[in-house]
Copies of this chain bind each other. A is one copy, B any other.
């Protein structure tokens, strides 16, 4: 377990009282002692923002993200935050991320990154010019066995890839939870103004896309999509079926739903090559199945000596001591801290993942709008 002597000074935008994901980010940042949360603009009204900061005992609470940006820049560099974590609803990601990156702060931003590929281009430009670390919290890529899956593919254990199936199944939106607005999680996720053009496809499809991209290294060339809204009155899709064509000829299927009753957070990946297959499931994250031609199936387990270096480095406790969601999330933060401290090999999902995810959702929505035509996804350098 890594425990650095000097933590990175972190600020946070959004994530105040009652916000699920803000608390997750803070716990993940705290787990290894790699970050110290010293400032925050934690809510969208000044009163709630300041109250939340007090409740968490933050050294510096601000009424708004603009105030935090100004306030921190006014401090001497050795006190100033080094990085900002943006955990607001999606529509606020862009202005905040651009402003902080432009001012030279490292950025950790929730997913999906922004609403359009044009916005993503702009963030890429700014981050490159300012030389800041920019991470997108695709937290599922932080699981040790996802890193092992990536290694097995890269090492050619599966042979050339043929087919990838990724599924992300939830059931919590099977009823019109957003009606009335009391369930804030449901409300903003089903509101196009705050969530962007994708519903389920944006909220969890973006994770599915990034997981397959990370593990396989394949690039989506074109998509053919069907977006469905099963719950009457809902403004965005709650179910998606997307056919994928990858550059080089491999095929894929991405299935996403938030109306499958009984499904909790069932993200699954199967990768099939000419010589073998692997499969992984987020709800049993410490295991990875590997099948190769004519040999007994293997169950690879987190923490074991036969794993690759990245999986080993991402693991905190021995085999059989289950690591879970928070640990994977913390691996993203640990990678960011390492990058900020200058580690060139730091392993975390970055702006390229975020931008590619935006391109993907854009293409999916376009395909669905065209009745399921194949729509090309533009290549990114």
A residues in contact (CB < 8 Å) with B: 1, 3-7, 20, 23-24, 26-27, 30-33, 54-57, 162-163, 165, 170-172, 174-175, 224, 226, 228, 230, 239, 241, 243, 251, 253, 255, 257, 259-266, 270, 272-277, 279, 282-286, 289-301, 303-306, 316-327, 372, 374
Contact = CB atoms under 8 A, between A and B. Distances in A.
A175 to B, nearest CB: 7
Contacts of A224: 226, 372
- For A174, A239, A275, A293, the residue with the greatest tally of chain B CB atoms inside 10 Å of its CB is A174
Contact of A1 (B23, B57, B257, B272): B23
Nearest to A319: B264
A322 B322 contact: yes
A274 to B, nearest CB: 7
A165 B57 CA distance: 45
A191 B136 CA distance: 48
Contact of A320 (B170, B277, B293, B372): B170
A54 B4 CA distance: 10
Nearest to A317: B325
Contact of A296 (B20, B239, B284, B304): B304
A298 B299 CA distance: 6
A12 B316 CA distance: 20
10 contacts: A3-B23, A31-B31, A175-B293, A226-B243, A260-B277, A261-B293, A265-B320, A283-B320, A295-B306, A298-B298
Given A27-B33, A239-B251, A266-B320, 17 more contacts: A5-B54, A5-B56, A24-B316, A162-B230, A163-B259, A163-B260, A243-B372, A261-B277, A261-B293, A262-B292, A264-B301, A265-B320, A283-B286, A296-B299, A321-B325, A324-B327, A326-B326
